[in-house]
Amino acid sequence: MTSQTFPLEPAPITGVAKITTTRHCWMQCRFCDFNHFTPVLFDTKITSCLPLADAESRLATMPTSIGLIKIRGGLSFREPFTYFRSLVRAVADGFNGPIQAFSPIEVNQWHRVEQRPVRELLAELKWAGATRLGPGGSEILVQSWRDRLSPYRIESAAWENLAQLGWETGLPPSAMILAGKWLSAADIKSHLRILAANSWHHIEVKVFRAVALQPELEPMHILALCRLVSETRETLNDTPIYVNEPPGGLSHDARILLTQAGADGFYTTLEAIEP
């Protein structure tokens, strides 16, 4: 009889700084806290974008334990692509680590609004200092999820094609797998099959949180989350898997269980720079 050895320590934990460019977005995804649509009334008040000077001053006092910067933002018709490119450049000037900048959703927005080739936009993000694309939008790859959560996002095939273009310009794409009690086993398998048909820098396991519009979006029990990570590992083989820790973090024991299930690391937010 052989005994199974469990890890005494969890996989590495990466401290993350999240930079939000703008919190308003016309897409109204039902799980997102950027759930502000483009106003039709001229006097509707919406928070402005993050000033570059504010971002630079906050970066100067950022904890040294930060190992990854994620830059995100809602979809706006007000800020040009040059604003987002300049912010990436400002971040890169003060940080030597990896910068995960935006996602295929934002790139598609710039492509449509400014009528510029996708490859050109990706190349400019790379020039500015971005090192990879974020996973935003990969929750739409199963049609039932898209219909329910993000009906106004681009079609799944378009998202996949745009994400994979990142490899050609030196911005490897990432994708996510959702974690929530409302997800069916069949949908999860379908989602993983779609991911397995492409190539990814890494996979992020994102734990949903309940919001006012979707109170049933509760996170999974830790054992169900372990099964999800294990199934992701079996399907995607050697692709790195990182668990995005929910607000409040995970316990040491939970991290050990998820490491045993196949997680290669954990992302925990240490700093949030917002407008």
The more confidently predicted of residues 119 and 59 is 119
Lowest mean pLDDT among 32-36, 41-45, 90-94, 224-228: 41-45
Kindly report the pTM of this predicted structure: 0.90
Burial tier of 78 (Cβ tally within 10 Å: 0-12, 13-18, 19+)? exposed
Average of per-residue pLDDT across 50-73: 90
Q: Which residues pair with 131 in a beta bridge?
A: none
| The predicted structure's pLDDT at residue 87 | 94
Mean pLDDT estimate for the chain: 87
Query: What tokens appear for 216 in the block?
Result: 């049933």
Structural domains of the chain, with CATH: 13-38+46-273 (3.20.20.70)
At 148, the pLDDT band (50, 70, 90 cuts) reads confident
| pLDDT category of residue 78 using cuts at 50, 70 and 90 | confident
Q: How confident is the model at residue 222 (pLDDT cuts 50, 70, 90)?
A: confident
pLDDT at 210 over 90: no
More confident residue, 37 or 123: 123
Report the C-alpha gap between 68 and 61 in whole angstroms. 15
Rounded CA-CA distance 261/271 in Å is 28
90 falls in which pLDDT band (50, 70, 90)?
very high
Distance CA 111, CA 102 (A): 13
